[in-house]
Structure 1
Amino acid sequence: MMRLSEFLEEGITAATISRMEQRAAVNQLSRGLYQLPDALLDGNHSLAVAAKLIPNGVICYDSALAFHELTDRIPPYVWMAIGPRDWRPKIVQPRIEIARFGPKEFDKGIERHVIEGVSVPIYVPAKTIVDLFKSGQRQKAFYSASAGLAHATQAMKDALRLRKATPSEIAKYAVAAGIWEKNVQPRLEALTVNA
C-alpha cells in the first residue's frame, strides 16, 4: 500500500501509475492511494488505509475498541483523532469520521501496530475508554442522552475483565482528561468493588 507521494519519491511518475492502474497492476483504494491487486487483506484493512490517508491521525473511539476486541459493534466508519490545528482531510473512501482532540489529550496513550505493512497509531484500551467517557459526557450535555456513558462503562467492564486495561491506567488517563471524579471514578469503583 503506497501513496502517490511515496511513488514519486521513488522516481515513479503519476503517468506510470495511471498506466499501471489501466493494466490492473495496481488498484486505487482512494484518491492518491494504491495497492497491489493480489495483496493479502487483513481484517483491519480499513485502519491501515485510514492511517495512510491521514498520517498525522490516530485510530480512536469505536474503531480502537474494535481493534482491541472490546466491542461487538462493527463501526460503520473508521474513527480518526487529529490534533486541534491539524488539517481536516476530505476523504470519500473509506468512510472516515474525524474527531478533534485537544493538545493535552491527542498524543497520549498511542501504540503502533503493523497492519498490512503499515504502521498504524491506535490509542491503548485505557485511553480509548476515557475518550469514550469524555465523548459520552458531551453527548449527555447536548442531547440529554446517556447512551454514550453506558457504552463507555461497558467497554471499561470488558477491558477490566479481559485484562486489557488496569484500574490504575484508566484512572491515570481520566485524571489527565479532567473527568476522573465526576464520571469515571464512581463507575470504576463500582466495577472493582469485589475484585
Structure 2
Amino acid sequence: MASAESLPETFRYTEARRLGLSDRALRRLLAEGAVERVSRGLYRRTDGEQDVDLGLLEVAHRVPDATLCLVSALSRHGLTDQIPASVDVAIPRDRRVPRIESPVTWHHFARETFCVGRRSEPLGAGEEIGIYSAERCIVDMFRLRHREGAEPAVEALRAWLGRKGSKPAELMAVAHEFPPSVTPLRNALEILL
C-alpha cells in the first residue's frame, strides 16, 4: 500500500490509484491531515510548501497552457492596486473551458498570438503557471479597454513607466503584434512622457 510520502506533492486521484493507493487509504490520509483536497479529483500532500495558492494550482493542473492575464497579471507585476474578484486566465481560443471550483474569469485569446510575452510564474512547491509579461498585460489592457476600461490601462502604463528600466520601444514592439492597441497606446505614451 502506498503512503503519503510515496505520492507526488500534488496529485490526481487517478495517479494515486495507479501508485497503489486505495480509496480507503486516501480517505484515511485525508482524515489524518496528511493530504488535503485541492478540488474534485486533485489532492496535495500537506508536508510540502504551505505558501501555495490552491486556486491557481487547480487552474495550472486542469489547463496546462492557462496564463494569468489582464488585472490578475498586472497585480502580480505590481502595476495595479486593484484586487480582482476572480482570477483572469487566458486560454487559446479553441480550448474548452474546464470546470473549476476556484473563481476564474476565462479569456479566449487568439492562438497565433497566445505565446507573445508568455512566461512561467512559480507557484511554489515546484508548480508553475503561465503569466504574461508586464508589457503584454499593458498592451492587452489597451487592446481590451472597451471591456476592461481605459483607466486601469492608463494606471498600469503610468506605474510601468515609473519603473527603472522600462523601455517604451519594447512596449511598442509588443503592441505591433496587436494592431488595434498601437494608436491608443502611442497616444497615452505621448501624454505621459
TM-score scaled by length of structure 2: 0.83
Measured in 1, the distance between the counterparts of 2:154 and 2:117 equals 19
Structure 1 unaligned spans of 5+: 140-146
Tell me, yes or no, if the aligned pair for 1:171 and 1:180 is still in contact at 8 Å. Answer: no
5 Å-filtered alignment, 1:1-195, equals 1-4=9-12, 7-8=15-16, 11-13=19-21, 15=23, 16-42=25-51, 46-92=55-101, 94-116=102-124, 117-137=126-146, 139=147, 148-163=149-164, 165-192=166-193
1:6 deviation in Å?
A: 7.4
Give the 3-state SS of the residue equivalent to 1:27 in structure 2.
Answer: strand
- What's the % identity of the aligned pairs? 26
Regions of 4+ moved over 6 Å: none
Q: In the alignment, residue 77 of structure 1 is paired with which amino acid? A: S
1:3 deviation in Å?
A: 3.3
What's 1:143 paired with?
none
After the TM superposition, which of the residue ranges 55-64 and 179-188 deviates more from structure 2?
A: 179-188
Tell me, yes or no, if the aligned pair for 1:27 and 1:35 is still in contact at 8 Å. Answer: yes
Tell me, yes or no, if the aligned pair for 1:4 and 1:14 is still in contact at 8 Å. Answer: no
Measured in 2, the distance between the counterparts of 1:156 and 1:47 equals 26
Structure 2 unaligned spans of 5+: 1-8
Tell me, yes or no, if the aligned pair for 1:136 and 1:152 is still in contact at 8 Å. Answer: yes
What's 1:142 paired with?
none
Q: Which has the larger Rg? A: 2
Give the 3-state SS of the residue equivalent to 1:91 in structure 2.
Answer: coil
Measured in 2, the distance between the counterparts of 1:45 and 1:162 equals 30
Measured in 1, the distance between the counterparts of 2:159 and 2:130 equals 22
Give the 3-state SS of the residue equivalent to 1:80 in structure 2.
Answer: strand
Residue deviations 1:8-38 (CA, integer Å, cap 9, x gap): 4862446243432233221101112222335
1:184 deviation in Å?
A: 0.9
Measured in 1, the distance between the counterparts of 2:71 and 2:188 equals 20
Give the 3-state SS of the residue equivalent to 2:177 in structure 1.
Answer: helix
Measured in 2, the distance between the counterparts of 1:162 and 1:61 equals 19
Measured in 2, the distance between the counterparts of 1:41 and 1:189 equals 45
1:98 deviation in Å?
A: 0.6
